[in-house]
Amino acid sequence: MKRRYHTSIPGLLYLGLIGLTAFTAVNNQNNVLFWILGLLLSGLIVSSIVSGMMIRSIRIRRLLPAHGIVGEPMIVRYEVTNRSRFLPIFNIHIKERNVNEPSGFNNMMDPISAWVMHVGPNETVHGEAILWPRRRGKAVFGSIRIWTTFPLGVFRKSIKIPLPQQALVYPQLYELKPGVLEAVTPQGLLGATVSRHMGSGDDYYGMREFRHGDSMRQVAWKRSAAMDQLVCIERTTPAPPKVRVVVNLTTPTDKLTVGSDELHSPHELEEAAISLAASIICAADLSGFEIGLKLPGTKLPSILVRRNVWHRAKMLSALASIDLKQPRTKFSATSQIESEQIAQIIIHPDRVVTSIGGSMAWHLSARQLDTLTLRTIGWDAAQLTAHDSVAKTNYKKDTIKSEVPA
């Protein structure tokens, strides 16, 4: 932890005022000015002591959310504790320091400082900073700087506290157009079916003896009359449709086929493919599908077909942690994909390669993102204009998004 004093413009003005007062007081030998000079100097001393004591008695902890999503605010909380028994803390600013690496949070979002107005002696409060992620990935947080100008604003006393942590930012999610999911998900043999387990469905599964607590509605009266004892009908468990989303990342970014007149860069197409996959996963999960994920071309393992909240988070995390700069691996599990009795949605960044997936697989291209989706969920990171850094990212998707029907 490094403590530092910084001068600020008001502080320099204050020092200038002290110099001017000292000069005038000495020249005029005016006692009122001497007293004012004493007051200004004591303000300087007291200010530095009080701010130093305040900073020294702070204990802070960063409380990161489980994840962030591009297009939605990511709230980072700071637990600020005042360890002093007597001295309250006022006007504490908390600022995340930039991390000098590609996955540093500052490359993904603009840091906004948090502010805590007051922490009483021996008390704890939670400050919060709202971050606006611009792209998915692993956001690495390094140290934070806490500073205060309290009490007089003459000096800025700061302290640097290392708090290494990281959080995942999920890809931008889109709202699929009505009917898209129904169109690409399987019907018939590959669609909704029943499982071989009893459950609460509608289809007949079998019969068994009546047990205490069974509903009278479950009693098979005719059969009971024939058997001279109460028997109940058991129903099957409905099995939701199963979908596997495959994002074809086998082709390196620089070898993707992109026309010279196209607005998208290869990298943007890959990101769009990932976003489309995430959007389909979320929509399918909401519709009650069981979903799996394969990321051919990456070292990330396949995710089995399941359905629950944690499973969805696992898939989104996998999509978030794809590093497109890593060398691509060869995909050799084509046979496995073909052999499975589930529907497949294969998303390609540029052109459709039908060699991946079976004959029943749906092949989508990242270029279809606009035609398949209505709008972004949250704000569109591509259209972000409030940040200066948007110009640097040079997104060209404004034109694309404007074509999406409202």
Partner 1 sequence: MRLLKGFPILALAVVLLGIVGFSVAQQSAGLLMLWSALVVISWYITEGPRGKSLPRWTSNVLVLAITINVLVEFFQPQSQVLGVLGRFVVWLIVIKLYEHKAAKDYGQLLAMSLVLMLIGSIRPDSLVFAVVLFFYAGLGIYVLLLFQLFASHERTNAARLKSIPRQYNLLPSLQPILSPGIGLHFRTLVCGIGIVGLALSSFLFIIFPRGIGERSFGKFYRDSDNNIAGYTDEVNLITGNRITDSRRAVMNLTLRDAQGSPFKQESPLRLKGAVLDTYKEGGRWFSSHGSLSRIATKADSEFTPLGEFEAAISVTQKIEMLSANKTIFSMAYPVAISTPKQRSIDLIRQTQIMTVRDGQYLRRYSVKVQLKPTDATLMNLADNQAPLPVLLPFDSLDPRVREKAINLLQEAGLDTSPQNSAADRWLFNRKAAKILTKHFQDGNYHYTTDLSNITLITSDGRTVDPTIQFLFNTKRGHCEYFASALAALCSSVDIPVRLAIGYLVMEYDDSSQRYVVRESNAHAWVEVQTGLHRWETFDPTPPRVINNLHGSDATWADQFRWLLSTFEAQWDFGFVSYDQQSQSQLIKALDDRWSNRLQSVINSLKEWAAAINRAFYLGPAGYIWMGTVGLALVIAILALIKLMRRSIKIRTTLRLSHLRGSEYQSMLRQLGFYLDMLQVLEKAKRRKPSWQPPLQHAAKLEVEHPLAAKTMRKIIELFYAARYGKQALDRDELKNAHLLVQSLATSLDLKC
- Among 152, 112, 117, CA closest to 17: 152
- Among 379, 249, 269, CA closest to 326: 249
Instruction: Identify which of residues 81 and 103 has a Cβ nearer to partner 1 in the complex.
Output: 81
Using CB under 8 A, pick the residue from 150, 155, 170, 362 that binds partner 1: 150
Q: How far apart are CA 162 and CA 213, in angstroms?
A: 59
73 binding partner 1? (CB under 8 A): yes
Q: How far is the CB of 188 from partner 1 (least distance, A)?
A: 40
Instruction: Identify which of residues 38 and 102 has a Cβ nearer to partner 1 in the complex.
Output: 38
Using CB under 8 A, pick the residue from 48, 194, 379, 400 that binds partner 1: 379
Identity of residue 217: R
149 binding partner 1? (CB under 8 A): yes
221 binding partner 1? (CB under 8 A): no
| DSSP letters spanning 22-86 | HHHHHHHT-HHHHHHHHHHHHHHHHHHHHHHHHHHTEEEEEE--SEEETTS-EEEEEEEEE--SS
373 binding partner 1? (CB under 8 A): no
Q: Looking only at residues 258 through 287 of this chain, which bind partner 1 when binding is defined by CB under 8 A?
A: none
- Among 114, 53, 46, 62, CA closest to 82: 53
Q: How far is the CB of 90 from partner 1 (least distance, A)?
A: 6
130 binding partner 1? (CB under 8 A): yes
107 binding partner 1? (CB under 8 A): no
Q: Which residues contact 335 (CB under 8 A, 6 or more apart)?
A: none
Mind spelling out the 3-state secondary structure of 256-276? CCCCCCCCCCHHHHHHHHHHH
Instruction: Identify which of residues 35 and 204 has a Cβ nearer to partner 1 in the complex.
Output: 35
Q: How far apart are CA 175 and CA 259, in angstroms?
A: 27
Order of strands across the sheet with 74-82? 58-63, 74-82, 124-131
Helix H or strand E segment including 165:
strand 155-170
Instruction: Identify which of residues 93 and 177 has a Cβ nearer to partner 1 in the complex.
Output: 93
Residue with tokens 């000069």: 23
205 binding partner 1? (CB under 8 A): no
Q: Looking only at residues 10 through 39 of this chain, which bind partner 1 when binding is defined by CB under 8 A?
A: 10, 13, 17, 20-21, 24-39
Q: Which residues contact 62 (CB under 8 A, 6 or more apart)?
A: 76, 77, 78, 79, 141, 144, 163, 165
48 binding partner 1? (CB under 8 A): no
46 binding partner 1? (CB under 8 A): yes
| Contacts by residues 28-34 (CB-CB < 8 Å, ≥ 24 positions apart) | none
88 binding partner 1? (CB under 8 A): yes
Using CB under 8 A, pick the residue from 52, 110, 223, 321 that binds partner 1: 110
Helix H or strand E segment including 180:
helix 180-184
**Which residue stretch of 143-151, 181-189, 335-343, 361-369 sits at the interface with partner 1 (rule: CB under 8 A)?**
143-151
Q: How far is the CB of 55 from partner 1 (least distance, A)?
A: 14
Using CB under 8 A, pick the residue from 15, 52, 56, 153 that binds partner 1: 153
112 binding partner 1? (CB under 8 A): yes
| Residues within the interface to partner 1 (CB under 8 A) | 10, 13, 17, 20-21, 24-39, 41-43, 45-46, 50, 73, 87-88, 90-91, 93, 110, 112-121, 123-128, 130, 132, 149-153, 378-380, 383-387
